[in-house]
Amino acid sequence: NPYAGFLIVWVLTLTVFTIWWAPERSEFWIAILIPCMILLALPGLSRLISGISLPVAVIMVAAIFAVNFLGSICPQSARVAETETCVAVGIDAVVKSGDIVLSDCSFRGRASRYVTSFEKVNLLNPDALSKGNGALEHIVPCALCAVDSLLKDVKRDQRTVYILMCPLSEEPHLRHLYADILSAVQEEFVVSEIVPLRAPAELRRIESRKS
């Protein structure tokens, strides 16, 4: 069949690219299944593997449905982490590769698929925080020192530091703590740019006052 060679090259090329580029992204694998189904439907191949091509094609169609339903339809229909995902999409469109976004959110799960172009640095790590009240009072000064150190490092590399003006943590006390850090950062550093995302979130580009 004159189309078989083209389809085989299509499948192999896209497979190699997907493995190299983003093997965790389901949409790339869906694109590979389409030429596979066309290949299985070719008359010559059907005669060659009679009795096998139909079951394989049915499995591929079922796989496409399962990937779309479980990887897209179902999670996008849920309200869980919707704000986090929308904020992640907005961030990804603004920042450049190597930029740093300060946040209390780790962007796990579905949101992590959209945040691919920057290094995330969390000001708060809930697992590392002590539950004793005495330890919490040192978090804000430590966060300011961490931001100051980051600004010095990125200045040499001509990168940008943003801070996410929206606490996304589910823990109430961490949300309040991050709000305190946001206030302290704005007092300590210069906000040179404000980038609105999905309300009420926004990114603020910060710089050292000494610079």
Contact 30, 68 (CB under 8 A): yes
Give the residue, 100 or 141, on which the prediction is more confident.
100
Whole-structure pTM value: 0.57
Of 21-25, 81-85, 191-195, give the lowest mean pLDDT range: 81-85
Residue 48's pLDDT band (boundaries 50, 70, 90)? low
Question: How much is the pLDDT for 39?
Answer: 80
Indicate if the pLDDT at residue 133 is higher than 50. Answer: no
Mean pLDDT of 87-111: 79
Read out DSSP for the chain?
A: -TTHHHHHHHHHHHHHHHHHH-TT-HHHHHHHHHHHHHHHHSHHHHHHTTTTHHHHHHHHHHHHHHHHIIIIIHHHHS-TTHHHHHHHHHHHHH--TT-EEEES----GGGGGT--SSEEEES--GGGS-SSHHHHTTHHHHHHHHHHHHHHHHHHHT--EEEESS---S-HHHHHHHHHHHHHHHHHSEEEEEEE-STT-EEEEEE-TT-
Q: Over range 78-95, report the average pLDDT.
A: 74
Sheet of 190-196, strand order: 119-122, 100-103, 161-164, 202-207, 190-196
Among the listed residues 39, 34, 59, the one whose alpha carbon sits nearest the alpha carbon of residue 49: 39
Q: Is the pLDDT of residue 144 over 60?
A: yes
Q: What average pLDDT does this structure show over 101-109?
A: 77
Supply the pLDDT for residue 210.
Answer: 60
Contact between residue 165 and residue 53 where contact means Cβ atoms under 8 Å apart: no
Q: In this predicted structure, what is the pLDDT of residue 75?
A: 65
pLDDT tens for each residue of 113-123: 667 777 777 77
The percent of residues above 90 in pLDDT, for the chain, comes to 1
Q: Rounded to whole angstroms, how far apart are CA atoms 165 and 67?
A: 34
pLDDT value of residue 123: 75
The overall average pLDDT reported for the chain is 75
Share of the chain above pLDDT 70, in %: 76
Q: What pLDDT, on a 0 to 100 scale, did the predictor assign at position 151?
A: 82
- What is the distance between the alpha carbons of residues 209 and 202, in angstroms, rounded to a whole number? 21
Assign 54 a pLDDT band (cuts: 50, 70, 90). Answer: low
Neighbours of 165 (CB within 10 A): 20
Task: Output the pLDDT for position 134.
Answer: 46
